[in-house]
């Protein structure tokens, strides 16, 4: 069951933890800078760009999920992270991705779902 895995933050209490606004994965800013977002780096392009990290991730999230087996987990499916890497995810992330990301998603025909649980249909 070797699956891609995000780096797990060592300090759960750290105020520094940030959650990706798109996929809700939780990492330290250092990890975001080093590796980018393990799920959506392709579109977010945060790796090596602290400014980008600060707009694409947030500290304002709530609820912490240890996603151990995303493929089979209902939680992952509910959170729409089933296809993402293993790692820590936030239940709820406040804020929206930057406009350019939103535009890019739109251009790709991907429906953007903010992670703040505002539109649960």
Partner 1 sequence: MSDLEDDARVTNDLLDDEEEDFDEPPKKDKRRAYADEEEDEEDEDEDEEDDEEDEDAGAARGKKRPRRHKRPAVNRFLDVEAEVDEDEEEEEEDEEYGKDGFIAGAEGEEDDADVHRRAADHARLDRRREELNDQDLAQIAADVSERYRRTAVRYSGDMNEIPQRLLMPSVEDANLWQVRVKPGKERDLVFSLMRKSVDREFSNRPLNILSAFQRDSLPGMIYVEARSAKQVSDACAGLVGIYPSRGIILVPIEEMASLLQIKKQEITVTPGSWVRIKRPPRYQGDLAQVMDITENGEEVGLKFIPRIDLNPKDEATVDGKKRKKPAGQTSFSMRPPQRFFNYEEVVKVYGRKAVSKRNQVYVFQNDTYKDGFIEKDLRLTALQLENVNPTLDEITQFTRGQDGDGDVNVDLSIIAEASRKAAILVLQPGDHVEVFEGEQSGVHGSVHSIEQDIVTIQPVGVEFDGQRMQVPARSVRKRFKPGDHVKVMAGQNADETGLVVSVIDNVVTFLSDMSMQEVSVFSKDLREAAEVGTGTNTVGNFELHDLVQLDLQTVGVIFKTERDSFRVLDQNGQVRLVKPHQISMRRDSRRAIATDSDGHELRPGDNVKEIDGEGRKGRVLHTHQSFFAFLYNAESPENRGVFVTRARSLASQAPKGNLLNLGGTDLSKMNPLTAAPTGGMVGSAIGRGPRDRNIGETVCVVKGPQKGYVGIVKDTNGSLARVELLTGNKMISIDKSKIFRRLPTGDLEPLDTPRGGRGSFTRGGSGRGRGRGGQPFSSHGDMGPPPTAGFGGPPSRTPNPYNDGKTPGWTRTPNPYAGDGGKTPAAWSTAARTPNPYADGGKTPAWNTSSRTPNPYASGGGSTGGWGGATPGRPTSSWGGATPGRNNDSTWGSASRSWEGESSDNWDAAPTTAPTPAATSWSAPTPAAAAWSAPTPAAGVWSAPTPGVTGAWDARTPAFTPAGGFGAPTPAPNAAWGREGGFGQVEEEGPPEKWLLSRDLSDPKGIRVRIRSSSGSNWQHGNYDDQHGIILNVLNTFNESFDSTAQVKFLQPSDETTRESPSVPVQFLAPVEPDKVGEKVVIIHGNRSGQQGVVRDLEGDKVTISIDGTHVMDEIRRDFLAKIVPAED
The residue ranges that bind partner 1 (CB under 8 A) are: 1-2, 4-5, 8-9, 12-13, 21-22, 35-36, 38-44, 47, 54-55, 58-60, 62-70, 72-80, 82-84, 86-88, 91-92, 94-95, 98, 105, 108-113, 117, 120-121
Please tell me whether residue 90 adopts helix, strand or coil conformation.
Answer: strand
Q: What is the dihedral of CA 93, 99, 101, 103, to 10 degrees?
A: 130
> By the 8 A CB rule, do 67 and 89 touch?
yes
CA distance 87 to 82: 11
95 DSSP assignment: S
CB of 3 to partner 1, least distance (A): 9
Question: Is the torsion defined by CA of 23, 29, 30, 34 positive or negative?
Answer: positive
Backbone φ and ψ of 26, nearest 5°: -110, 125
CB of 69 to partner 1, least distance (A): 4
CB of 52 to partner 1, least distance (A): 12
Q: Which is nearer to partner 1, 5 or 30 (CB)?
A: 5
CB of 37 to partner 1, least distance (A): 9
């Amino acid at each position: 069951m070797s699956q891609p895995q995000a780096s797990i933050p060592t300090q759960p209490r750290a105020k520094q933890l940030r959650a990706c606004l798109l996929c809700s994965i939780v990492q330290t800013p250092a990890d975001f800078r080093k590796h980018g977002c393990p799920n959506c780096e392709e579109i977010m392009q945060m790796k090596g760009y602290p400014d980008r990290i600060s707009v694409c991730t947030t500290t304002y999230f709530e609820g912490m999920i240890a996603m151990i087996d995303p493929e089979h987990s209902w939680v992952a499916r509910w959170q729409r992270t089933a296809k993402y890497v293993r790692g820590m995810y936030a239940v709820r992330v406040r804020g929206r991705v930057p406009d350019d990301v939103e535009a890019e998603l739109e251009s790709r025909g991907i429906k953007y779902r903010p992670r703040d649980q505002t539109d649960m249909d």
